[in-house]
Amino acid sequence: MINMIVVAGPTASGKTRCAISLAKIYGGEIVSADSMQIYRGFDIGSAKPSARELAEATHHLVGCVDPREDFSVAVYQKLAREAIAGIYSRGGLPIVAGGAGLYVNSILYDMDFCALPKQEATRAALWDEAEKKGGGVLHERLKSLDPAAARRIHPNNVKKVVRALEALEHSGGKTGLNSFDEAFTPYPGYSPLIIGLTREREELYARINARVDRLLEAGLVREVEELVRGGLSMENISMKGIGYKEIFNYLTGSHNLERAVYLIKQNSRRYAKRQLTWFRRYPNINWFNISSYGGEKDALDDIADFCAKAMGKI
């Protein structure tokens, strides 16, 4: 019997609104699977749900982590499963919503992160090398050590390249990211209904571009300035997210604001493409192309009806 709904998809596809709609219909509580919304103070650039949206449904793992922490997917997995257990104890329906594929995987699948302990010295050295020589150098090294992992990881995803190289070093080079990317053994006790949201590429990209413009108007530059004044820099993992790293580089003089905005939009579009690739690997995902409906309400009504039928409520 289905005891969880997952709303996944690329950035700007409408996951927040869909998750809230389903939570209100089915008495659910939302567990965020967003790698940036989890940080305190990262409100604008992460497109965190508004105060009104947060009031419409109970949200978990939003704005709960200190951005100075070296947060990891292993810690996220622990927090998410604790939140889900709490929802079950209250008789509610967990609704996992987000676009961070590895975060979603960590909930749905039986992934053991003990095999990849934090190795601070190695990680720091790799990040330092990426800063000095460029992420492409690290990706080329990964390609020579683990071609399969290199094919799965985009060269621009420096964070994941670093984690792959770290894993290789501390496993004697015998394994790469297989335990992360190919762990499709369902986690015991969860019976999820997975909803995938997508839109036609032109519409999705237009929504991404428009969202970036709204974030700038809402004060993204000011938000990053405040984070920097609070002591954050590119040494912190939290600042490496799209929107934050580009504005940080603008503030430090690496490029002008126009270039920063261009890069945020470009990197967001590329990220959306990688998200779609990631979630399309799920064998049991049910896709809804929002662009094919007359409006968002029609799409949400159809998704709600689909969920009701799948859960045996109608």
CATH number at residue 136: 1.10.20.140
> Alpha-carbon distance 219 to 105, whole Å?
32
SS3 content of the chain, % helix, strand, coil (to 5): 55, 10, 35
Q: How many domains does the chain have?
A: 2
What residue type is assigned to position 92 of the chain?
Answer: G
- Read off the tokens for 280: 């399309």
Q: What is the pLDDT of residues 47-104, one digit of tens each?
A: 999 999 999 999 999 999 999 998 888 899 999 999 999 999 999 999 999 999 989 9
Residue carrying structure tokens 């975060």: 103
Domain co-membership, 97 together with 123: no
pTM for the complete prediction? 0.81
Domain co-membership, 96 together with 127: no
Q: What is the pLDDT of residues 169-211, one digit of tens each?
A: 765 554 444 444 444 689 999 999 999 999 999 999 999 999 9
Whether the CB-CB separation of 24 and 17 falls below 8 Å is answered with no
- Read off the tokens for 65: 């982590």
Maximum Cα–Cα distance across the chain: 59
Of 134, 163, 181, which one is at a domain's C-terminal end? Answer: 181
Domain that holds residue 106: 4-111+183-310
Sheet holding 59-60, edge to edge: 59-60, 28-32, 93-98, 4-8, 192-198, 285-289
Domain co-membership, 221 together with 97: yes
> Alpha-carbon distance 154 to 28, whole Å?
35
Strand partners, 28: 93
> Alpha-carbon distance 82 to 253, whole Å?
42
> Alpha-carbon distance 235 to 206, whole Å?
32
